[in-house]
Amino acid sequence: MRKFLLIAIGCIVCGLETKAQVPALERVEPMFWWTGMSNPKLQLIVHGRNIAAKSVQLVYPGVKLTAVHKVENPNYLFLDLQIFSSARPGTFPIKFIQPGEKDLVYNYSLKERSHAANRAQGVTSKDFIYLLMPDRFSNGDPSNDDVAGMRERGIHRDSMFSRHGGDIKGLMNHLSYLKDLGVTAVWMTPEIENDEPAASYHGYAVTDYYKIDPRYGTNELYKQYVEACHRLGLKVIKDLVHNHIGTESYLIRDMPMKSWVHQWPKYTNSNFRDMVVMDPHASAKDRKIMLDGWFDKRMADLNENNPYVQNYLTQNHIWWVEYAGIDGFRLDTYPYNDPDYMAKWAQDVQREFPKLSIYGETLVWSAANQAFFLGGNVVNRGLDTHLPGVTDAVVKDAIYEALNGKEGWTDGVNRIYAVLAQDFLYKDPTKNVIFLDNHDMSRFYSMVNEDMAKYKSGLALLLTLRGIPQMYYGDEILMKNFSNPDGLVREDFPGGWPGDKDNKFTADGRSKKENEAFNYLRTLANYRKNTPALQTGKLMQFIPRDGVYVYFRYDQQKTVMVVYNSRDKEQTLATDYYAERINNSNQAKDIFSTQTIDIKKLLVPAKTTLILELIPAK
């Protein structure tokens, strides 16, 4: 996530300030938990007016209150619980007692863990991810467009920085559309509450970690959404923000302690320079500003060295997986987080959910920078991050260079070859998420100057290279624009709102050119979904020759040959050079035309990518 345009206000940089009346017992989080978790320890955060003046009583078989922590702010208690293997699902009272006053009681529930096979199943190179912003995709429930008590009221579709009314119900209404397109996993930008006064529709200024934003729906609806996805064979990715928190959260308005966030004598932004984290020559000051500086005046930088912050975040993320059964996490602004905590976090989460997928957002400029953040890089880092994958921005840049650049030794089409040749830096490059654009970037179609041949070639490369491909909503219908400002690339999906002039969820609502793009992507995505060689097969690439880049994806059952002609003229390719992988095949099936063609000499149109399934010689 990049820096967002938000209304600038002063941040809390010193002292604890109670800015709102706190009820006697405002909340207990996590609100409930489960028996049978791998980690028997649980820390509850309790928020209520002068709650620290009360003693705590808890009696339930298999559960022991091991410690009660009082902190700087008397409106908080942190309760350490031990949940033994003998504990059974049930509800029990937690009493907060003070002589002369009525007891406060919270009825705490332990639930039984789900063991359904399709929960927390992981997102892998077999999948194709569709990224969308829920506020901008589809409005399925107009009744939640204006929610009383929220700081930003109503919807204003004529403003790129206001809320437009999209919601979870709207996404659920179009899951079959995604299934038909060939998508296998859905990633929403954060859907939990962002109750900021303006421009928080993007979801990255969290104000309630345990609550779906009411303008999107409810916790129960989110759970139903995950179940609906799983019934259709779609997986669900949840977007997490470890680094920062919205300043209207109760945890900021009435902070438990000064060290809950990073404090500065005056407001200090991060320098946004990930290089200092890995630079052996970096100054301590630069590194501190990078890691501890705030992302925005509305996004307080959490102090991940604080053990209470660590427990709070980790338990919240585990809670969502167990509650809803999601399949993977995308970690926002990964380089800005405390490395030691993030390594511990990954271990704690994967201990509970071994198949759950995790990948971090690392919008950096080199393969080495990306590899630095990945798990297994112990020699260079002195720690194992246990991070399986990253958002592979370097492959993205290489694809654009191949599509738009001028041919050179490592420029133009040669860039892809050079970047993939550095895959030795990764423990497993197939766990990286490759993409062409997202909610922070100029749209793919605009980046190739609305050239249909380049558009198709870019998609062909995306869905046939190694890794987990991800697309951004609307790319399939040629949505366009540049990201200055970001709101321009976050337009509403046409047809997602009642009364929209065009409904581009249907073929009748799309133009001829839009249907051409949609059908191209659908054909390619569904072919990939049914072709293991493109999912888990090996990759062999050949040095580009005369502007033509050739690579193969193959397993024991099938070999797919991909040929990209980067030049502005048609070329004939003599394929005997590639006999190492072609073997004795003389023919291949073009996956788009389904025609059988002779591959001894291939005619490759300008700026075009051929995807050919080789037919073994008889």
- Is the pLDDT at 4 greater than 50? The verdict is no
Other beta carbons within 10 angstroms of residue 154's beta carbon come to: 12
- Is the pLDDT at 6 greater than 70? The verdict is no
Q: Where are the domains of the chain?
A: 27-111, 129-247+309-531, 534-615
- Among 191, 322, 361, 401, the active-site one is 361
Residue 588: half-sphere exposure toward Cβ, Cα within 13 Å: 24
Confidence class of residue 177 from pLDDT cuts 50, 70 and 90? very high
Q: Tokens in use for 549?
A: 């880049």
Q: What average pLDDT is seen over the chain?
A: 95
Backbone angles phi, psi at 216, to 5 degrees: -105, -25
Amino acid letter at 587? Q
The answer to whether the Cα torsion of 252, 258, 261, 264 is positive or negative is: positive
Residues 327-344 have a mean pLDDT of 98
Q: What is the pLDDT of residues 253-308, one digit of tens each?
A: 999 999 999 999 999 999 999 999 999 999 999 999 999 999 999 999 999 999 99
pTM across the whole model:
0.96
Domains 27-111 and 129-247+309-531 share a fold: no
Q: Reply yes or no on whether 428 is catalytic.
A: no
Q: What is the 3-state secondary structure (H, E, C) of 236-270?
A: EEEEECCCEEECCCHHHHCCCCHHHECCCCCCCEC
Q: Name the DSSP letter for residue 11.
A: -
Are the beta carbons of 79 and 55 closer than 8 angstroms? Answer: no
pLDDT reported for residue 371: 96
Q: What is the pLDDT of residues 363-382, one digit of tens each?
A: 999 999 999 999 998 877 88
- Is the pLDDT at 158 greater than 60? The verdict is yes
Q: Reply yes or no on whether 361 is catalytic.
A: yes
- Among 127, 296, 322, 332, the active-site one is 332
Q: What is the pLDDT of residues 22-68, one digit of tens each?
A: 999 999 999 999 999 999 999 999 999 999 999 999 999 999 999 99
Q: Token pair 């024991």 is at which residue? A: 556
What torsion do the CA atoms of 315, 316, 322, 324 make, to the nearest 10 degrees? 180
Residue 274, classed as helix, strand or coil, is coil
Other beta carbons within 10 angstroms of residue 254's beta carbon come to: 20
pLDDT reported for residue 21: 85
Q: Which fold has domain 27-111?
A: Immunoglobulin-like (2.60.40)
Are the beta carbons of 357 and 389 closer than 8 angstroms? Answer: yes
Q: What is the pLDDT of residues 224-248, one digit of tens each?
A: 999 999 999 999 999 999 999 999 9
CATH of 534-615, one of 2.60.40.1180, 3.30.420.270, 3.20.20.70, 2.60.120.380: 2.60.40.1180
Residue 589, classed as helix, strand or coil, is strand
What is 129-247+309-531's CATH number? 3.20.20.80
pLDDT reported for residue 1: 58
